[in-house]
Amino acid sequence: MTPDTLTPSPVQNIAVLGIGMMGWPIARRLCEAGYQVSAWNRSPAKAERLRPFGAQVCDTPALAVAQADLVITLLEDGKVVEDVLFRQGTTDGLRPGTLMVDMSSIQPRQARDHAARLAAIGVQHLDAPVSGGTVGAEQATLAIMAGGKPADFERARPVFEHLGRPTHVGPHGSGQLAKLANQMIVGITIGAVAEALLLCEKGGADMAKVRQAITGGFADSRILQVHGQRMVERDFAKRGAISVQLKDMRNAMTTAREIGFEAPITALFEQLFAQAADHGLADLDHSALFVELASRNGMA
Active-site positions read 179
Q: Is 113 helix (H, G, I), strand (E, B) or coil?
A: helix
What residues does 16 pair with on adjacent strands? 39, 72
* DSSP letters spanning 181-203: HHHHHHHHHHHHHHHHHHHHHHH
Rounded distance between C-alpha atoms, residue 47 and residue 39, angstroms: 6
Phi and psi for 124 in degrees, rounded to 5?
A: -85, 160
Report whether 177 contacts 108 (CB < 8 A). yes
Rounded distance between C-alpha atoms, residue 229 and residue 268, angstroms: 24
Rounded distance between C-alpha atoms, residue 22 and residue 238, angstroms: 13
Query: What stretch of H or E contains 293?
Result: helix 289-296
Report whether 84 contacts 61 (CB < 8 A). yes
Of 186, 100, 111, whose CA–CA distance to 143 is shortest?
A: 186
Report whether 164 contacts 140 (CB < 8 A). yes
Of 149, 169, 134, whose CA–CA distance to 23 is shortest?
A: 134
Report whether 104 contacts 129 (CB < 8 A). yes
Q: Is 241 helix (H, G, I), strand (E, B) or coil?
A: strand
Rounded distance between C-alpha atoms, residue 43 and residue 17, angstroms: 11
